[in-house]
Amino acid sequence: MTNTDSRNFWLLAACAGLVTLVGLGAAHYMELHGHVVTGMDNQVVWGLPHVFAIFLIVAASGVLNVASVGSVFGQPVYKVRAPLSGLLSVAMLAGGLMVLMLDLGRPERVIVAATHYNFTSVFAWNVFLYSGMVAIVAIYLWTMFERRMNAWSKPAGVAALVWRFLLTTGTGSIFGFLVARQAYQSALLAPLFIVLSFGWGLAVFLWVQAAMMAWNKMTLDADVQRRLNRLLGIFVAASLYLVAVYHMTNLYFARQDAFAAFILRDGGVFPLLFWGGYVLLGSVLPMLLLFNPKFAAPRTTLAAGALVILGAFAFLFVFIIGGQAYPLEIFPGWEAASAFADGAVNAYVPRLPEWLLGIGGLGAALLLTTIGVRVLDVLPRDGKLK
Amino acid sequence: MSDRRGFLGVAAVALGGVMLAPGIRLIEVAQAATPAGATTGANPAVRWGMLIDTTKCEAGCTDCVTACNTENGLDPRPTPTSSQWIRKIEIKEVKTGRQASVPVMCQHCAEPPCVDVCPTGASFKRADGIVLVDRHSCIGCRYCMMACPYKARSFVHEPLTDQKPDVPRGKGCVESCTLCVHRIDKGDKTTACAEACAKAGHNAILFGDLNDPASEISRRVREIGSTQLRADLRLDPGVRYQGL
């Protein structure tokens, strides 16, 4: 390890640490003054922090896909990437959970959530799914690093694969099991989130891998690059298909007409973010970049990855905020008006503390990744293949 | 290599200790704080409920809202971030143009989605059908607000001052109509909103025990047509509406 390496490590760790600290500061400010300092109110109760947290948690599950393809399906190209994939999974899960917990009204009561369980609650299931995920991935990493445990790497990988499906089913079901709101209440949300996780996780993976390789003055094998590109393209296409099916069901059911019109056409920022952000920039454009051999270059892969991540945020903003902005239909067939915004589309503009908390979660994930990369041997070396 | 392994081992043990120790300590504290004797619970033979006659409810009258705010120490001039336990909704049927004015509050469902989704069990239903939030175990996740089809719940967005001793509330927790549980438990037979409505001469809100065949509310729901809001969800709300 050279001096420059060491200096760069501390610089990156300090930057990520600073971003995390600012996020923690924002959370402290929110706790001190209450959620009145955010853009949330009694209509839009889950705001921007949930967008960041759910992105991180879903991507944390998806990024482990790389390891699964390696350990479970025995693909050597992916096997050398499994340690990095596991590390990223734990780091992003931790970052997402940090945001989720600090956005609670009473974050200091998180111990209550860890000691009192209501087993009909999808959130309570998720408490086990998240902590179980960290434990299983930690064991999985251990079986990969500890030579004596290598034989157990495959069973651990299978366990992680199964657990990851359960975890993202749990995340999708947070919304899927909500009977009240037009935007949710669909069993499709669990598989949809699983497929979304594949693309988001791989996009994050490709960026981290590129940064590490550039740092170590390595270049990615062209064949490996092509395979990863194609895989990301397939994941993006599959996500788009499931999102289309979700909206098709809404368009077909008469009782969902008004909601479908709102989210896809009339809802202002939401249709704009959906079509422009998720569909065009976040799905169609990356697919063009990834599938067209003319654009095959490391830089295009990164551009596609960045667009997929951008699209993920657009999708989640529309899904989470748009779903709450649309008024509850308490009196179907009637127009409603009240001093409590009944019958009205709810305006929500995220405020600075929410942005800082969300970005703080990304910072925490980056900090953990940076430290992990330093202390563990996770650099993918394709030379090992031959 | 062995240095790194040693470091990781020590770090893992230290991290585990740091994460576990406060939890174990807090579990001890929590167990020590649990009262030994159980208090008398709510009466399971009773189902408290309301019948709201929309034909008597006057458009523009907000006496029930004001009474609720005063009774429970809520913000007299509600904003989108302050709590509203009851609100008046002016509705108009799209096809016919028929209008009505409807007070809406927590519907005290027999199958409450807010209770199902609450991760800690803070959201709960009493034996007598009243749906409440335990302010000691609510972590403020707001999942119940996402789950309620009636938008009946509010989140306390700001620090509170001058609270009513009978109605404990707190920043960062979720709350909603308690069906004036502090009155009921003292033996009162009506809620602040129903009382105010009667005082204004409208008598649109009737409170009572839906399980007692001899009660006024039971007689009325037996004799006249009444509906439950979002009856399609089969949540069996304890609040019924007449004239919709």
Cα-Cα-Cα-Cα dihedral sign, residues A382, A386, B1, B4: positive
Indicate whether B40 pLDDT > 80.
no
Indicate whether B35 pLDDT > 60.
no
Residues B117 and B29 in one domain: no
pLDDT of res. A293: 84
Residues B83 and B2 in one domain: no
How far apart CA A83 and CA A67 sit, in angstroms, is 7
What is the chain B residue with the closest CA to A110?
A: B139
pLDDT of res. B13: 75
Q: How far is CA A142 from CA A83, A356, B34, B148, B231, in A?
A: 9, 34, 41, 44, 53
Domain containing residue B29: 1-34
Residues B146 and B74 in one domain: yes
Using an 8 Å Cβ cutoff, are A242 and A195 in contact? Answer: yes
Q: What is the ipTM of this complex?
A: 0.94
Strand partners, B133: B123
pLDDT of res. A241: 98
Class of domain A12-378: mainly alpha
Please give the average per-residue pLDDT across A70-86, as a whole number: 90
pLDDT tens for B193-223 read 999 999 999 999 999 999 999 999 999 999 9
How far apart CA A82 and CA A265 sit, in angstroms, is 42
Q: Tell me, yes or no, whether B132 lies in a domain.
A: yes
Cα-Cα-Cα-Cα dihedral sign, residues A328, A331, A337, A343: positive
pLDDT tens for A319-372 read 999 999 999 999 999 999 999 999 999 999 999 999 999 999 999 999 999 999
Q: Of all residues in chain A, what percent carry a pLDDT higher than 90?
A: 85
What is the chain B residue with the closest CA to A138?
A: B12
pLDDT tens for A213-265 read 999 899 988 889 999 999 999 999 999 999 999 999 999 999 999 999 999 99
Q: Do A33 and B159 touch (CB under 8 A)?
A: yes
Distance from the B199 Cα atom to the nearest Cα atom in chain A, whole angstroms: 23
How far apart CA A246 and CA B85 sit, in angstroms, is 34
Q: Tell me, yes or no, whether B157 lies in a domain.
A: yes
Which residues in chain A have Cβ-Cβ distances shorter than 8 Å to B22?
111
pLDDT of res. B37: 45
Using an 8 Å Cβ cutoff, are A307 and A285 in contact? Answer: yes
Which residues in chain A have Cβ-Cβ distances shorter than 8 Å to B88?
338-339
Residues B214 and B123 in one domain: yes
Q: Tell me, yes or no, whether B39 lies in a domain.
A: no
Backbone phi, then psi, for B65, in 5-degree steps?
-65, -45
Q: Do B23 and A111 touch (CB under 8 A)?
A: yes
**Amino acid of residue A140:** Y
pLDDT tens for B96-132 read 999 999 999 999 999 999 999 999 999 999 999 999 9
Q: Tell me, yes or no, whether B43 lies in a domain.
A: no
Alpha helices in A103-221 (DSSP H): 110-115, 122-145, 153-176, 189-215
Indicate whether A1 pLDDT > 80.
no
Q: How far is CA A345 from CA A342, B33, B86, in A?
A: 8, 45, 20
Q: How many other CB atoms are found less than 10 A from the CB of residue B225?
A: 9
Which residues in chain A have Cβ-Cβ distances shorter than 8 Å to B172?
31, 34-35, 104-106
Question: pTM here?
Answer: 0.92
What is the chain A residue with the closest CA to B9?
A: A142
pLDDT of res. B14: 73
Count of structural domains, chain B: 2
Q: How many other CB atoms are found less than 10 A from the CB of residue A47?
A: 26
Mean pLDDT of chain B: 91
How far apart CA B169 and CA B71 sit, in angstroms, is 13
Q: Do A178 and B81 touch (CB under 8 A)?
A: no
> B62: domain CATH number?
3.30.70.20
Nearest to B113 among A46, A179, A334 (CB): A179
Q: Tell me, yes or no, whether B231 lies in a domain.
A: yes
Provide the pLDDT confidence category of residue A41 given band limits of 50, 70 and 90: very high
Indicate whether A386 pLDDT > 50.
no
- Lookup: tokens for A17: 């640490």
Residues B2 and B73 in one domain: no
Interface of B with A in 15-74 (CB under 8 A): 22-23, 26-27, 30
User: Side-chain half-sphere of B217: how many Cα atoms within 13 Å?
Assistant: 24
Strand (E) or helix (H) holding A325: helix A323-325
| Domain parsing of chain A, residue ranges | 12-378
SS3 of chain A: helix, strand, coil, percent, to 5: 75, 0, 20
